[in-house]
Amino acid sequence: MEETTIRVAMRATARISFVLFLGAFLGDALYRLMPAAATRWLKAHKDGFTLGFAGSHTVHLAFILTLVVAIGREHAFKGNHGRPVHGRVPAHLCSGCWRSASSSHILVFTF
């Protein structure tokens, strides 16, 4: 699998997970604020959203691990502009992604 394909899949699963997370954990609160048919449905399907979030997040983790294997451990655990990340989770494994720019890397946040 190509690095670009893996990164696109990571972005997609991150965004899907975010939407499912909102559905899972905002349903009760939204129903209390605005009791309507849509929020009642969201509250009633909370378990499905929670399971969907867990599944999507698991697939997201699989893509992260695939990226680490594809580009190499040394390259995957570098910080912004190739500097090592010490004592933190690498920035591109959190809410951002890396985009290749010749030999250097630039951190691009997707949110």
Number of domains in the chain: 1
**Each residue of 36-85: pLDDT tens digit?**
999 999 999 999 999 999 999 999 999 999 988 888 866 766 654 555 54
CA 81 vs CA 33, 85, 103, 106: distances in Å: 45, 11, 10, 6
Structural domain that includes position 71 = 3-109
Reported pTM? 0.64
- For residue 99, the surrounding DSSP H or E stretch is strand 96-101
Average pLDDT rounded to a whole number, residues 8-20: 94
